[in-house]
Amino acid sequence: MKIVQLLPSLDFGGMERLAVDLARQQKAEGHEPSIYCTSHPGQLAPEAEAANVPVHSFGKTTGFSLHLVLDLASRLRRDGPDVLHAHNALVLHYAIAAARLAGVPVVVNTRHGGNDNWDPHCERIWRHAVRWIDSLVFVSEGVQEFYVARDRISRRNTSVIYNGIDVDKFASHPAQPTAALPTFRVGSVGRLVPAKDHVTLIRSFAMVSRALPTAELHILGDGPCRAAISQTAESLGVTSRVFLHGASPNVSGFLSTLDLFVLSSIDEGLPISLMEALAAGLPVVSTRLPGLTELAPETVVAGYCTPAHPESLAEQILRAANRHDLPALGKAASQWAEKFGIRETWHNYQAVFEASLSKNRGYPVERPARRSNALVAVRHDK
């Protein structure tokens, strides 16, 4: 099967990480994947290319681009994919138009969560565009319920497929969580954007640091909110104990140095970073959002807190720091994360792609055997 994934870029991020891991798994199983970036290639592009996955970028800037539609269509005619898999809302209308011009038989969209700025105009376009695709995938039940309720999206031809990761990469570099060492290292991974709400994380850490003088906060990621995060840390007097490491591909190495992983997001679909932290054997404190509690139940995490509420987050961090069973909690987290393998995620996408192809042109369906205990089992609504 020839598969093209379409997204704005391969900059560091969960959606982008999933796209590369999916393409690598597709390649490993004998398919022909490639990745199109409407804007620029991004930092993860060399990894995809090293796995012999072609990456093409089209240089789009701001605003609507008819030129992009024509360029995409030209490239699609040359590559001749069976499936065009568009990620999130920003690129879907381009995918549909270019696919129609190029004669691509199947267009699938995965909705990971919101667009970067929750642009109402973009959301209106997406709401109309999904009528013209073959299948719509949501990354969690919570994301599906949100769009069904808000946009009255029909459940017909929709699926829920959980994200997946390269579990072995993180399990082979495990963390050693403990509150007994001189320094208690709290950490987070994610783009520095409003949806991740790192400012609330800094405010909560200031409260934590007063009660736990040995604590440090380490943040891996970059983005437009970096200045606001730094200013908040300075205003609260914790600059010397807050470390902004910038973006890096070495997430597994970063996670292995932590004692506790914290997710402060106010909007999430199904975060790759949380899966990676669990796979690394880290206890987790997170905001209570539908997709997150779906991914990791109460018995797996160290604690859930109220979104955008620094006192609640600080309370959960301190409660975790005072636990004597952090190593055991981390081990349980790593065992739970074994359910998140990218292989199973890809097989669920493969089933969606093949069903759509079969419907459109009698494509022969040959599906691999499924593991019955996988969390990532697909659910179809027809």
pLDDT confidence tier of residue 362, bands split at 50, 70 and 90: low
- pLDDT higher than threshold 50 for residue 327: yes
Beta bridge partners of residue 7, listed in sequence order: 37
- Whether residue 375 has pLDDT greater than 80: no
Contacts of 204 (CB under 8 A, 6+ apart): 264, 310, 311, 313, 314, 317
- At residue 381 the predicted structure's pLDDT band, cuts being 50, 70 and 90, is low
Q: Tell me the C-alpha distance between 81 and 66, whole Å.
A: 21
The pLDDT value given to residue 368:
41
Please state which of the ranges 89-93, 176-180, 301-305, 326-330 shows the lowest mean pLDDT. Answer: 176-180
pLDDT at position 372? 37
Q: Residue 378's closest CA among 58, 139, 67?
A: 139
In the chain the beta strands, taken as DSSP E runs, fall at 2-7, 32-37, 55-57, 83-87, 106-111, 135-138, 158-160, 184-189, 215-220, 242-244, 260-263, 284-287, 303-305, 379-381
Question: What superfamily would CATH give domain 168-339?
Answer: Glycogen Phosphorylase B; (3.40.50.2000)
How much is the pLDDT for 113? 80
Q: Mean pLDDT in the chain?
A: 92
Tell whether domain 2-164+341-381 is in CATH 3.30.10.20: no
Residue 182 has pLDDT above 90, yes or no: no
Whether the per-residue pLDDT at 318 is higher than 90: the answer is yes
**Predicted local distance difference test score (pLDDT) of residue 31:** 98
Instruction: Report the pLDDT averaged over residues 96-105.
Output: 98
In this prediction, residue 374 carries a pLDDT of 45
Tell me the three-class secondary structure of 184-197, residue by residue. EEEEEECCCCHHHC
Domain spans, the chain:
2-164+341-381, 168-339
2, 93, 223, 378 from 140: Cα distances, Å:
26, 23, 25, 10
pLDDT higher than 50, residue 366: no
In this prediction, residue 114 carries a pLDDT of 65
Same fold yes or no, 2-164+341-381 and 168-339: yes
What's the pLDDT score for residue 373?
A: 39
Output the pTM of the full model: 0.89
